[in-house]
């Protein structure tokens, strides 16, 4: 068994490792439209048109419609009607936001320093503006999804269509002074997973841990091809088999290789979450007793045996050091293919990835 590391390797960082786009987080927060909200409107409109014009046709096989939108995401520019739902209101302060409250963990220190978002906040008003922008984008997304579901109902397709809503990640949103997604805290790694439709009980929460790997298995099951899950060797299971069932003590895996010098891996089971860092101390949380992850048991001697059991379980799945080496080698090959790391560092100076077909609009604020 490998001994638990005591420090993050390469913790010191040169100036070019600090993201220069952090100031855009607060600079863009406010009412208006961005290329992302315009893009999401286009996607929602296309989905509604498809449902009315194509979804209602007679099909010999079940159809699957994939609708992918961006919000909520930086820039925190929310349409005015949604932004002003929250602006000026007393919004909940992010947990462990004050500097003295923040966790003292090698990776978290590095990530906070490198992401460099909070250093551009001038005070509580900036924090509230950023939160209002994010919450406004959530309401905006709700509106777009509501429009699509309304069409699903109006066309008579709702009774024969199962709907899955999920996301690729969350956002720290100021918790522990962090912004962005590159942690395994629930705010970041936790995702919404809502399923509705024929055979799915309403108003029921399932506590069994699930992942995005379960979505493809669920789609195959929903369209009448459950045998393909095993035939293709998919790692997930159908969410339809979990809906309305008692919670299972299932273990799911998440891994991250792109922020900082070393990787980290998360094992999540029904009660506990374990995070293994290549080059830093682990983290362990009891989510039943501590759902807000305020107490890190990663170096508590009383939990050494439990951490060892988790690490053994992780190593039974993969070799964390070897997999990280393979991931970094693959990244180097991709960097060479697209112009080396200096080109990628220049690309990172962009505040966010431009969406397709949204013109050259970066952000439009009233009065500009």
- Predicted confidence at residue 339, as pLDDT, reads 74
Which of 198, 219, 241 is where one domain is finished? 198
Q: Token pair for residue 16?
A: 């070019």
Q: Is 28 found in the same domain as 172?
A: yes
Residues of the chain with pLDDT under 70: 1-21, 260, 340-341, 343-351, 357-368
Which of 172, 198, 224 is where one domain is finished? 198
Give the separation between CA 338 and CA 249, rounded to whole angstroms.
43
**Angle at 30 (CA atoms; ends 28, 36), nearest 5 degrees:** 60
Let me know if residue 208 belongs to a domain. Answer: no
Let me know if residue 362 belongs to a domain. Answer: no
- Predicted confidence at residue 159, as pLDDT, reads 92
Taking only the tens place, the pLDDT of each residue in 271-317 is: 999 999 999 999 999 999 999 999 999 999 999 999 999 999 999 99
| DSSP 8-state code for residue 350 | S
Distance, C-alpha 277 to centroid of its chain:
19
Contact 240, 220 (CB under 8 A): no
Contact 286, 297 (CB under 8 A): yes
Q: Is 319 found in the same domain as 182?
A: no
Q: Is 58 found in the same domain as 167?
A: yes
Q: Is 109 found in the same domain as 191?
A: yes
Instruction: Specify the pTM.
Output: 0.88
Q: Is 258 found in the same domain as 186?
A: no
Q: Token pair for residue 25?
A: 């987080």
Which of 134, 168, 198 is where one domain is finished? 198
Give the separation between CA 170 and CA 188, rounded to whole angstroms.
4
Q: Is 29 found in the same domain as 158?
A: yes
Give the separation between CA 115 and CA 338, rounded to whole angstroms.
24
Give the separation between CA 187 and CA 175, rounded to whole angstroms.
8
Range of the domain at 293: 251-353
Q: Is 177 found in the same domain as 261?
A: no
Taking only the tens place, the pLDDT of each residue in 193-209 is: 999 998 899 999 999 99
- Predicted confidence at residue 348, as pLDDT, reads 60
- Predicted confidence at residue 335, as pLDDT, reads 82
- Predicted confidence at residue 25, as pLDDT, reads 83
Q: Is 151 found in the same domain as 81?
A: yes
Number of domains into which the chain is organized = 2
Q: Provide the CATH number for the domain around residue 318.
A: 3.30.1120
Let me know if residue 237 belongs to a domain. Answer: no
| CA trace torsion 57, 59, 62, 64 (10° rounding) | -50
Q: Is 174 found in the same domain as 31?
A: yes
Adjacent-strand bridge partners of 77: 30
Q: Provide the CATH number for the domain around residue 40.
A: 3.40.720.10
**Angle at 169 (CA atoms; ends 167, 173), nearest 5 degrees:** 120
Let me know if residue 216 belongs to a domain. Answer: no
Q: Is 173 found in the same domain as 268?
A: no
């Amino acid at each position: 068994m490998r001994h638990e590391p005591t420090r993050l390797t390469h913790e010191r960082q040169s100036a070019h490792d600090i993201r220069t786009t952090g100031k855009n987080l607060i600079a863009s927060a406010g009412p208006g439209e961005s290329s992302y909200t315009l893009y999401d409107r286009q996607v929602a409109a296309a989905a509604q048109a498809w449902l009315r014009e194509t979804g209602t046709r007679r099909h010999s096989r079940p159809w699957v419609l994939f609708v992918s939108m961006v919000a909520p995401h930086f820039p925190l520019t929310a349409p005015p009607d949604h932004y002003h739902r929250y602006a000026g209101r007393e919004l909940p302060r992010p947990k462990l936001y004050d500097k003295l409250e923040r966790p003292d963990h090698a990776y978290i220190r590095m990530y906070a320093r490198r992401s460099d978002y909070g250093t551009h906040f001038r005070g509580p008003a900036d924090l509230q503006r950023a939160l209002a922008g994010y919450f406004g984008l959530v309401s905006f997304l709700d509106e777009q999804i509501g429009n699509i579901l309304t069409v699903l109902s109006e066309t008579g397709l709702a009774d024969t269509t199962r709907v899955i809503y999920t996301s690729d990640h969350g956002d720290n949103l100021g918790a522990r002074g962090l912004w962005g997604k590159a942690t395994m805290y629930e705010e970041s790694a936790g995702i919404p997973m809502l399923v509705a439709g024929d055979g799915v009980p309403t108003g029921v929460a399932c506590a069994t841990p699930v992942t995005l790997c379960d979505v493809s298995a669920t789609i195959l099951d929903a369209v009448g091809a459950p045998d393909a899950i095993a035939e293709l060797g998919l790692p997930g299971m159908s969410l339809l088999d979990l809906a309305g069932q008692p919670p299972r003590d299932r273990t799911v895996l998440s891994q991250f290789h792109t922020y900082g010098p070393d990787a980290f891996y998360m094992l999540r089971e029904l009660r506990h979450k374990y995070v293994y860092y290549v080059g830093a101390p682990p983290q362990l949380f009891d989510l039943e007793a501590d759902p807000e992850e305020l107490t890190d048991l990663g170096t508590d001697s009383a939990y050494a045996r439990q951490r060892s059991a988790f690490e053994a379980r992780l190593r039974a799945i993969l070799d964390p050091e070897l997999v990280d080496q393979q991931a970094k080698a693959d990244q180097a090959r991709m960097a060479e293919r697209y112009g080396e790391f200096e080109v990628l560092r220049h690309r990172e100076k962009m505040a966010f990835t431009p969406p397709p077909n949204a013109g050259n609009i970066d952000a439009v604020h009233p009065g500009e």
